[in-house]
Amino acid sequence: MNKFTVKAGDLIFKEGEIQTAMYIILNGAVEIFFNLKGKEVRIATMRKGDFFGEMALFRSKPRSASSRAILDTDMVTVNSKQQLQLFLNKNPNFAAKMVKIMAERLANTNEMLVDKLNDTLATELEYKIDLEKKFKPIS
């Protein structure tokens, strides 16, 4: 794991990049955001003890968001699953925190997915009903 400092306003990673590192904040603050129709949408603010970018350790997919230091921020990078395992073994309290946060993130994602599916199904049902009204079979 490498310790480094990011100055306020500097990007840590950019949406669309492919990387294999996650980050743990030792001091400072970071915002996580993505671009939606040309506008930045902040989805989280991370502070001392928080972690982000963990999905990069588990899958080779482009980053789904960007991260930027809000304050001068000291952090460490975790560059592999093996490094993460060693760190978690040495820091069981952080391991418990990580499991809790990842479970919350998964639950929130699941909730958004269910809401989106319900919206899609409701729209499809409305469309089908409209079609049936417009094109009633002749009896």
C-alpha–C-alpha distance, residues 94 and 120, integer Å: 39
Query: How far apart, in whole angstroms, are the C-alpha atoms of residue 1 and residue 12?
Result: 16
- At 113-126, the pLDDT tens digits run 888 888 887 777 77
Give dist(CA 3, CA 24) in Å, integer. Answer: 9
Residues 6+ positions from 49 with CB-CB distance below 8 Å: 24, 25, 94, 97
Q: What is the pLDDT of residues 42-101, one digit of tens each?
A: 999 999 999 999 988 888 889 999 999 999 999 999 999 999 999 999 999 988 988 998
